[in-house]
Amino acid sequence: MSMLKVTDLQVYYGVIQALKGISFEVNEGEVIALIGANGAGKTTILHTVTGLINQKAGKIEFEGKDISHTPAYKIVAEGMAHVPEGRRVFAELSVYDNLMMGAYTRKDKKEIAETLAMVYKRFPRLEERKKQMAGTLSGGEQQMLAMGRALMSKPKIILMDEPSMGLSPIFVNEIFDIIKAVSASGTTVLLVEQNAKKALSIADRAYVLETGNIILEGDAKVLMNDERVKKAYLGE
């Protein structure tokens, strides 16, 4: 069953066309990777899907419902969470307060407490530092906090934008292990990632973007062995 379906998406920045008729879908339970060079349009796709940018043409459907013109805050309530590029935690707030910001669309206190316990179990470091200001955490820990905050909304699908950017290799491995665990627990994942090798290693399917177009799509393991992908994105 298609959870997220994007059809012929066109987005402009002024006169420049950033997305030239992009179509793709994400089925329930999948990990989907969007890979491509800088400026290919990966982040623009996430921003348009989550309602932060308006498209000029095209349709976005979430669980069969047209959300093409739904404001961002309502999309979160529908069950879609976005972990933006560059982490964007609330630096002046404690780790705990950052996490609770993620649950703002939810009402049931007992369920929120259960989700918090699950997040702490998945990210023990956040529990250890729950009273600390988020701005004092390391880059890797801030990325974990951003992911934990997104999980607090109990999303059906989580969209992650460059989760490994600027992190040390140890943290990169840790973040990808967490993405695998999030997927295994039943949350669908749409991942935008510069580190194509890592992304393809955990994804079910992938789409390769070049200057606003999808040029390749398919099973992630197959794409990993595709000569064009190897040459352009895997540095082989």
Residue 91 has a pLDDT of 92
Residue 104 has a pLDDT of 86
Please name the residues in contact with 110: beta carbons below 8 A apart, sequence gap of 6 or more: none
Tens digit of each residue's pLDDT (9 = 90 or more) over 117-140: 999 999 999 999 999 999 999 988
Please name the residues in contact with 47: beta carbons below 8 A apart, sequence gap of 6 or more: 53
Tens digit of each residue's pLDDT (9 = 90 or more) over 207-232: 999 999 999 999 999 999 999 898 88
- pLDDT at position 172 over 70: yes
Residue matched to tokens 């066109």: 10
Nearest one of 225, 174, 224, 236 to 35, comparing CA atoms? 224
- pLDDT at position 236 over 80: no
Please, what are the domains in the chain? 2-85+154-233 (3.40.50.300)
Looking at the DSSP bridge assignments, the partners of residue 160 are 83, 191
Tens digit of each residue's pLDDT (9 = 90 or more) over 177-212: 999 999 998 999 999 998 899 999 999 999 999 999
Tens digit of each residue's pLDDT (9 = 90 or more) over 21-45: 999 999 999 999 999 988 889 999 9
Residue, of 159 and 86, whose pLDDT is higher: 159
Catalogue the E-assigned strands of 28-72: 31-36, 57-62, 65-66
